[in-house]
């Protein structure tokens, strides 16, 4: 079977936070957890890394590959991917919106379920990855057990949101988050996320490999993200962490591109 690379597939699924449960959970993290952040002078607040994203749909002859450099600063809050493959462009994620920039021109603005404050980079810099921010976001622990050397805790969504938000299970080993499982309210598994190959930078642990299993109606998708050449508190210009487009209009739009 011939394997093809399709740039459109990974772009549409990039970091795949498309399920309802994850999207609504993101809202709680942003609304409740974000105001509690404290950025101190010597605290790790900025990260730069080269990344590679590989995706594969099980049972289908399609796969995806994306490479580039990612930038994130807690104080600015924009998750920025400088994409080098499959084509040169910049993706800027701000709250629930994605900008796509080519040749320093903003060519598209579209809704996104990718929230910077729920990213691995944000939670790692804040040293909140181990608990995935669940307690601060209104979730409550409903049970805990030990299995195969893993400490597994189950968490229920806030009562008012349980019709749309299922349970979340965390699995930890030696005080490091190993896996997160997202459930639909009816009990189906929507997504599994695995955190591997932790490394320490300025006293904080960061997983340098994140593997996702996404369960959709008629297919299962594997996605692996690898981070290399990680730099904490880089002294580069804020330009790389803000990435404002400088030009005028999106083609066919009457809305100015600069916010």
**Among 187, 202, 196, which residue's Cα sits nearest to residue 232?**
202
For 88-109, what is the mean pLDDT? Answer: 92
Poorest-confidence range of 50-59, 107-116, 131-140, 154-163?
131-140
Residue 227 lies in a domain: yes
Residue 255 lies in a domain: no
Interatomic CA distance for residues 241 and 232, integer angstroms: 13
For 61-66, what is the mean pLDDT? Answer: 92
Residue 257 lies in a domain: no
Residue 254 lies in a domain: no
Q: Tokens at residue 196, please?
A: 């591997």
Q: Is the pLDDT of residue 6 over 60?
A: no
- Could you list the residue range(s) of the whole structural domain that residue 41 is in? 4-242
Q: How many domains does the chain contain in total?
A: 1
Q: Is the pLDDT of residue 84 over 90?
A: yes
Q: Is the pLDDT of residue 32 over 80?
A: no
| More confident site: 29 or 48 | 48
Interatomic CA distance for residues 101 and 83, integer angstroms: 10
Residue 94 lies in a domain: yes
188 SS3 class: coil
Residue 90 lies in a domain: yes
Residue 34 lies in a domain: yes
Residue 158 lies in a domain: yes
Between the alpha carbon of residue 101 and those of residues 26, 43, 75, the distances in Å are: 25, 31, 22
CATH number of the domain within which 230 lies = 2.50.20.10
For 143-153, what is the mean pLDDT? Answer: 95
Q: To the nearest whole percent, how much of the chain has pLDDT over 90?
A: 58
Average pLDDT, the chain: 82
For 241-247, what is the mean pLDDT? Answer: 77
pLDDT at 74: 93
pLDDT tens for each residue of 194-224: 999 999 998 899 999 999 999 998 899 999 9
């Amino acid at each position: 079977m011939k394997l093809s690379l399709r740039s459109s597939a990974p772009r549409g699924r990039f970091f795949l936070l498309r399920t309802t449960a994850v999207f609504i959970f993101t809202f709680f993290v942003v609304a409740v957890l974000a105001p509690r952040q404290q950025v101190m002078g010597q605290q790790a607040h900025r990260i730069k890394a080269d990344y590679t994203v590989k995706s594969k749909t099980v049972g289908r002859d399609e796969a995806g590959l994306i490479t580039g450099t990612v930038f994130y600063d807690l104080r600015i809050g924009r998750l920025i991917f400088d994409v080098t493959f499959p084509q040169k462009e910049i993706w800027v994620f701000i709250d629930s919106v994605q900008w796509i920039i080519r040749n320093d021109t903003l060519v598209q603005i579209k809704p996104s379920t990718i929230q910077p404050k729920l990213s691995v980079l944000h939670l790692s810099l804040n040293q909140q990855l181990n608990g995935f921010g669940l307690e601060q976001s209104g979730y409550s622990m409903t049970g805990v057990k030990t299995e195969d050397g893993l400490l597994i805790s189950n968490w229920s969504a806030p009562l008012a949101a349980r019709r749309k938000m299922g349970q979340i299970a965390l699995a930890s080993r030696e005080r490091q988050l190993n896996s997160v499982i997202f459930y639909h309210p009816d009990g189906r598994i929507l997504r599994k996320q695995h955190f591997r190959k932790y490394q320490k930078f300025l006293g904080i642990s960061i997983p340098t490999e994140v593997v996702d299993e996404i369960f959709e109606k008629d297919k299962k998708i594997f996605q692996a993200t690898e981070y290399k050449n990680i730099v904490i508190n880089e002294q580069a210009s804020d330009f790389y962490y803000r990435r404002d487009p400088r030009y005028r209009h999106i083609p066919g739009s009457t809305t100015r591109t600069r916010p």
